[in-house]
Amino acid sequence: MYNTIKIEKGLYNLSGKTFTQALEALDPSENYSDEALRKMDAYERQLKRFDIKVKGVNADKVDKFFQSTESAALFPEFVRRAVEKGMNSGCINRITAAVSAADGIDCRGIMLSDGDEAYTVTAAAGGELPKSSITLTSAPVALKKFGRLVSAPYEAVRQQRLDVFAVALGAVGAKLAKAVEGAAISALTKDVTPDSMVGSAFNYSELAAFWGSFTDCEMNAVICSPATAAKILAFDEMNKAVTANGGNMVTPFGAEIVVSSAAPDGVIIGIDKRCALEMIRNGDVIVETDKLISKQSDVTAVAVTAGFSVISESAVKVLEIA
């Protein structure tokens, strides 16, 4: 049962397993008949065991984690989850078609080459079917470390409510997300020759024509900067579309407007988010476990290692509007 297993910092260092996965191996969720306990993951059951409330009006203070050596070992995972939640508030999950895991500092992605031939051939002609090739990328995808140093001395934060502290950590995660988004956008646009507008002024007709330029794939997402998004939302044609979609930023032709400050002004990146981008990660968000457990957390590093690869070149187009 969850209230009898031994919690120690060594669970963070098991090869091939996250801290939660290590806990789950000791305390499988499937063993519980109680629905409430089964819906919790192994980490959440440990919070329950030590009566640590991390959210809500009755949220505990940071020092509640340090009531024992075992409960203190849960604190780095709290920090990691709060940072990860902040990262997930960005747009990466909305523009990534697949997420892969890698053990090293680089990795070969896959690339789909479809060509311009149709997918059918007349049976009577006896011809061969056209070919689609799936190959490894010509060069390895370099994984980069994105990190922040968090200055949060234990004595300064010990009396802070956990939900408030989590908000601050989430803001750190959001900063990480922006850096990761920049790498994703760079990968998407690296080898793309931008299209030019037909006219001299950016208007709804130009946006619709850009959507119509996709042939093999569907432009179901538009990535742009806040300033460029504001121009799109100012189009009269957008009013009904946004209203019809409950306030969500969706064009009349169904493309989601994804806003990122990492996108440069003056360009629109159109993608088919089902097959445009692969994210390659080397593990989860990493925090300095020993420092946090021992309360020596004057400055703690949080980091994530990731890279990006374009899966299908025909799923990405760029329009210059400046």
Per-residue pLDDT reduced to its tens digit, 187-206:
999 989 999 998 889 999 99
Q: Are residues 38 and 111 in the same domain?
A: no
Above 70 in pLDDT, residue 110? no
- How many CB atoms neighbour CB 235 within 10 A? 17
Split into its structural domains, the chain has a count of 2
- Other Cβ atoms closer than 10 A to 244: 11
Does residue 259 fall inside a structural domain? yes
Residue 55 within any structural domain of the chain: no
The overall average pLDDT reported for the chain is: 89
Same domain as 103, residue 37: no
Looking at the fold, whether 101 and 33 belong to one and the same domain comes out as: no
List, in sequence order, every residue forming a beta bridge with 148; answer none if it has no partner. Answer: 302
Confidence of residue 125 (pLDDT cuts 50, 70, 90): low
Amino acid at 131: K
**How is residue 201 written in tokens?**
């002024």
Domain holding 277, by residue range, is 64-115+129-322
Among 9, 24, 49, the domain-final residue is: 49
Q: What is the CATH number of the domain that holds 80?
A: 3.90.1690.10
The phi, psi pair for 113, rounded to 5°, reads: -115, 115
| Tokens found for residue 213 | 């330029």
Q: Is residue 123 part of a domain?
A: no
Q: Which amino acid does the sequence have at 322? A: A
Burial label, 237 (beta-carbon count in 10 A; 0-12, 13-18, 19+) = middle
Mean pLDDT of 297-322: 90
The answer to pTM > 0.85 is: no
What are the tokens at 104? 């090293």
| Shared domain check, 188 and 72 | yes
Q: Tell me: pLDDT of 122 over 80.
A: no
Say if residue 200 is in the same domain as residue 223: yes
In a domain, 122, yes or no: no
The pLDDT of residue 123 is: 56
Residue 179 · residue 232 · CB < 8 Å: no
Count Cα neighbours of 269 within 13 Å in the Cβ-side half-sphere.
27
Q: Is 289's pLDDT higher than 60?
A: yes
Give the C-alpha separation, 92 to 82, whole Å. Answer: 17
